[in-house]
Amino acid sequence: MYHHTHSTVGPRELPMARSMCWHCQSEVAGEYFCERCVKVQPVSKDLDYFTCLGFPRRLTIDQHQLETKFYELSRAFHPDFYQNKSAAEQTISLGNSAMLNIAYRTLRDPIERAEYLLDLEAGSVKEIRNSPPADLFEEILELQDTLSEYRAAGHASETESTLRAKLQSERNTLEQRQREMEATLQQLFVQWDTLQDRGEATDQARTERDRILKQMRENLSNRTYVKNIVSDLASTIG
């Protein structure tokens, strides 16, 4: 039998709101299983991924702890262990597992984690940027020209190899840019976590919060833009 253990992340809100056990109607005190009849309880659809996995809303997460928690909850929810249970429990197991899997997938990756947090805190970031960030504008325009020249150039021609070299160096520059953006993001993540840890409710804290979120949003969308260009480049010049 599975034993629920609290993660070591520290005191946290219990993952589920107080509610009735779907089976025995006794009060479920926030565990994934009813304490009285031991039946699995559905994870609320409104639960955010951080809470689902028992982590606070922070952008630095210990990967090892996250994985341990994911494995622990997988053992609790996976349909394999509900084969001999009622149809209702099988449905809950399926839903909970799907939720857990998407939660883990999202939180595992630092960028996706940040995008998700931003979404929770300030609405979606997923609108796709289709013009280059201002400071890269000139560079990208030129790159676009070189790319079309390269595509038009005769196979194995001299122009082709000159252009290829040029594109290769562009690629290196852009990859460097992407790394810089990621480093900036990393700093913003730390700033966010520090601010959260302080837990102040002052005007100053609120302004700071909005600034971090705004910068994060900008950096995330610029990074995605650059990353897409880099992978385009990579597939063109191989």
Partner 1 sequence: MARIVGIDLGTTNSLVAYMADGRPRVIPDRHDRTMVPSVVAMTDNGLIVGDPAKEHLTRNPERTVYSVKRFMGKSLEDVQGELAYFPYHLTEQGGVIRIKLGEKTYSPPQISAMILKELKRRAEAHLGESITKAVITVPAYFNDSQRQATKDAGMIAGLDVLRIINEPTAASLAYGLQQKMQGTIAVYDLGGGTFDISILKLKNGIFEVLATNGDTHLGGDDFDRQIANLFVKEISEQHGLDLNAYPDHMQAVRLEAERAKIRLSDELKTTAILDLPESKGRYSRDLTRDQLESLTMELVERTLGPCRLALNDAGLTSSDLDEVVLVGGATRMPLVRQHVEALFGKQPHCELNPDEVVALGAAVQADILGGGTTDLLLLDVTPLSLGIETMGAVMSSLIRRNTTIPASAKEMFTTYVDGQTGVDIHILQGERELVKDNRSLARFRLKVPPLPAGVPRIEVTFLIDANGILNVSARDVRTGATQSLAVKPSYGLSDDEVERMIGESFKFAADDLKARQLIEARTEAEAILMATEKALKQGSHLVGEEDLSSIRASMAAVEAAKSGEDHKTIRAKMADLEKATHHLAEVLMDTSLKAALENKKLSELTSGK
Interface residues with partner 1 (CB under 8 A) are 71, 74-75, 78-81, 83-84, 94-95, 97-99, 101-102, 104-105
Q: How far is the CB of 1 from partner 1 (least distance, A)?
A: 9
CA-to-CA separations, 169 to 166, 173, 223, in angstroms, rounded:
5, 6, 19
Alpha-carbon distance values, 14 to 68, 82, 195 (Å): 18, 24, 23
Q: Which is nearer to partner 1, 78 or 129 (CB)?
A: 78
Q: How far is the CB of 4 from partner 1 (least distance, A)?
A: 16
Shortest spacing between CB 46 and partner 1, in angstroms: 13
Q: Please count the residues of the chain.
A: 238
Site of tokens 């994060």: 216
Q: Is residue 196 classed as helix, strand or coil in its secondary structure?
A: helix
Smaller CB separation from partner 1, 52 or 212:
52
Q: Name the β-bridge partners of 19.
A: 28
Shortest distance, CB of residue 15 to partner 1, whole angstroms?
19
The residue whose two tokens read 């996995």 is 53
Residue nearer to partner 1 on the CB measure, 46 or 203: 46
Q: Which is nearer to partner 1, 127 or 135 (CB)?
A: 127
In this complex, which beta carbon is closest to partner 1, that of residue 97 or of residue 222?
97
The Cα 49–Cα 85 span in angstroms is 27
Q: Residue 227 CB, nearest distance to partner 1 (Å)?
A: 15
Q: Which is nearer to partner 1, 19 or 231 (CB)?
A: 231
In angstroms, what is the minimal distance from the CB of 117 to partner 1? Answer: 20
- Pull the structure tokens for residue 207: 């302004």
* Cβ-count burial 103-113 (b if 16+ within 10 Å, e if not): bbebbeebeeb
Rounded distance between C-alpha atoms, residue 127 and residue 99, angstroms: 24
The tokens for 164 are 């290829």
